[in-house]
């Protein structure tokens, strides 16, 4: 028989990525070079007006101290020095508290939260029943005749997160595929196995309060995928993940 033409069931799966919200920390080499570039820029620069004013005032103070406070400041003459301005600016900076880069979800390793690992991509994993096994995999839906595979992936998204979630799909073409044969017990003439085609999408909406969560789900980074996915499936998925 023509093995290549043996029909398989088609599935469209979706790799939904939450893009990073903060920058990654610099590596050691990057930090060293950044410091060096700052140093070179300082050496090549000229004094600014503020720095000149600061130097002049320091000169004045020094001269006044050496001459023993001969010419005291006039009555009630309060002069704002450049150094005072700098101190004021420094205090204002200290009073500002930015949001922390390491969130509570990070500390407690809450893998269902979108606030974890803000500096890397997070992928959606759901638990689905395949045959008689409950497996963790990328959300997938079976292809119905009459729709394109991308619409199947969109249906998979709606099935796991609801209609209200916005995602930007990256093109009509699949990014990867995974094919497997059914175990002999279920295999028939028409159903040799299945092929899953993966599509990529970026999550647009920021919070998931609008989501209707229907299945067990997790948001994981590329490194943590190995904890949940089977090895063959993981190999195919890793090929189209850039991180």
Partner 1 sequence: ARAQPKKKKKVDVKREQAQKERMKKKIRKLEKAASEMIPIEDFMTPPKYLESKRVRSLPPLSSEEIERRVLLMKKWSLYKQKQDEAEKKAIQTLVASQQAALKELRLESEELYQAAIKRDEGLFPFERDGPNYTPPLPDYDPPEGKCTDITKVYTQ
Residue numbers at the binding site for partner 1 (CB under 8 A): 4, 7-8, 10, 19-23, 29, 32-33, 36, 42-43, 45-47, 52, 98-101, 103, 115, 118-119, 148-150, 168-177, 179, 195, 197-198, 202, 236, 239-240, 242
- Judged by beta carbon, residue 21 or residue 127, the one nearer partner 1 is 21
**Minimum distance of partner 1 from residue 14's CB (angstroms):** 14
Q: How many other CB atoms are there within 10 angstroms of residue 95's CB atom?
A: 7
**Minimum distance of partner 1 from residue 75's CB (angstroms):** 32
- Judged by beta carbon, residue 64 or residue 222, the one nearer partner 1 is 222
Q: What is the DSSP letter of 225?
A: G
CA distances in angstroms from 116 to 92, 106, 121, 200, 233, listed in the order given: 30, 5, 10, 21, 25
The region that residue 12 occupies, defined by phi over 0 for left and psi between -120 and 50 for alpha, beta otherwise, is beta
- Judged by beta carbon, residue 109 or residue 172, the one nearer partner 1 is 172
Nearest CA to 137 out of 14, 20, 8 is that of 14
Angle subtended by helix axes 82-95 and 49-66, to nearest 10:
120
194 with 234: CB under 8 angstroms?
no
- Judged by beta carbon, residue 50 or residue 214, the one nearer partner 1 is 50
Q: Which residues, other chains included, contact 230 with Cβ-Cβ below 8 Å and sequence gap of 6+?
A: 135
Report CA Rg, the chain: 30
- Judged by beta carbon, residue 111 or residue 200, the one nearer partner 1 is 200
**Minimum distance of partner 1 from residue 76's CB (angstroms):** 31
- Judged by beta carbon, residue 21 or residue 181, the one nearer partner 1 is 21
């Amino acid at each position: 028989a023509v093995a290549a033409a043996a029909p398989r069931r088609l599935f469209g799966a979706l790799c939904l990525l939450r893009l990073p919200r903060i920058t990654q920390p610099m590596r050691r080499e990057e930090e060293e070079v950044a410091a060096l570039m700052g140093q070179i820029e300082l050496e090549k620069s000229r004094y600014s007006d503020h720095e000149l004013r600061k130097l002049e005032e320091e000169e004045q103070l020094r001269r006044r101290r050496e001459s023993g406070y001969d010419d005291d400041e006039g009555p009630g003459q309060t002069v704002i020095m450049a150094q005072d301005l700098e101190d004021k600016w420094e205090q204002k900076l200290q009073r500002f508290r930015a949001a922390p880069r390491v969130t509570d979800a990070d500390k407690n390793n809450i893998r269902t939260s979108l606030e974890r690992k803000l500096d890397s991509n997070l992928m959606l994993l759901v638990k689905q029943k395949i045959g008689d096994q409950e497996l963790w995999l990328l959300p997938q839906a079976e292809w119905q005749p009459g729709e394109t595979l991308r619409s199947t992936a969109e249906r998979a998204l709606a099935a796991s997160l609801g209609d209200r979630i916005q995602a930007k799909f990256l093109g009509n073409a699949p990014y990867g595929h995974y094919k497997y044969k059914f175990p002999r017990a279920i295999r028939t003439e028409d159903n040799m196995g299945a092929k899953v085609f993966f599509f990529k999408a970026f999550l647009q909406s920021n919070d998931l309060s609008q989501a209707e969560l229907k299945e067990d789900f997790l948001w994981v980074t590329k490194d943590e995928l190995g904890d949940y996915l089977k090895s063959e499936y993981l190999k195919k998925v890793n090929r189209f993940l850039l991180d």
